[in-house]
C-alpha cells in the first residue's frame, strides 16, 4: 500500500513540474485561439490551443469531459484563467469558449481536473451572461 502511495505522489509531482509553476494570483489570457490537438487518455482529455499569429501551442486544458463543439484547426474566441505557467506553455484552470450562434456568441465554460473546486476565482467567474453554460 505504501509503495502505491509513494508511486502516486511521484506521478503527481512529476505531472505538476512538467507543466510549470502554479500561478499565485489569478492571471488570465484572452483572444482568438486555434485548436491544435485534442487527445484522450484514461478518460482525461488534453486540448492544446495556439494563439493566432504564434507558431507553437501556448495554452492547454485538461478536462474529464470531451470538449464538445471544439474541433481541430478551428479558431475560437477564448478567455482563460491560468493555473500553471511555464516558459512556453500555460495550463488553464478554467476556460471560457465563445461559440458563434445566430443570436451572437454563446459562452461555454470548461473546468480543468487540476482546478481546485472550492476555489473558483478569477475574471471568468465574474462573467455575466444569460446563456452561460458550464460543463
Read off the pLDDT of residues 89-114 as tens digits, 9 standing for 90 and up. Answer: 999 999 999 998 888 888 888 889 88
pLDDT of residue 28: 86
User: What's the domain count of the chain?
Assistant: 1
28 burial class (0-12, 13-18, 19+ CB within 10 angstroms)?
middle
Q: Which residues of the chain have pLDDT under 70?
A: 1-26, 117-135
Alpha helices (H) along the chain: 2-19
Q: What domain range includes position 69?
A: 2-134
Whole-prediction pTM value? 0.69
- Give the CATH number of the domain where residue 101 resides: 2.40.50
Amino acid at each position: 500500500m505504501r509503495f502505491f502511495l509513494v508511486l502516486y505522489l511521484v506521478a503527481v509531482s512529476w505531472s505538476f513540474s512538467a507543466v510549470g509553476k502554479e500561478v499565485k494570483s489569478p492571471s488570465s489570457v484572452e483572444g482568438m485561439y486555434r485548436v491544435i490537438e485534442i487527445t484522450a487518455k484514461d478518460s482525461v482529455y488534453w486540448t492544446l490551443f495556439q494563439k493566432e499569429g504564434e507558431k507553437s501551442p501556448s495554452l492547454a486544458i485538461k478536462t474529464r469531459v470531451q470538449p464538445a463543439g471544439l474541433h481541430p484547426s478551428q479558431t475560437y474566441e477564448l478567455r482563460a484563467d491560468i493555473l500553471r505557467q511555464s516558459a512556453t506553455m500555460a495550463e488553464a484552470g478554467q476556460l471560457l469558449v465563445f461559440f458563434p450562434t445566430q443570436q451572437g456568441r454563446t459562452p461555454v465554460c470548461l473546468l480543468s481536473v487540476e482546478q481546485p473546486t472550492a476555489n473558483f476565482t478569477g475574471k471568468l467567474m465574474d462573467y455575466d451572461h444569460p446563456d452561460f453554460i458550464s460543463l
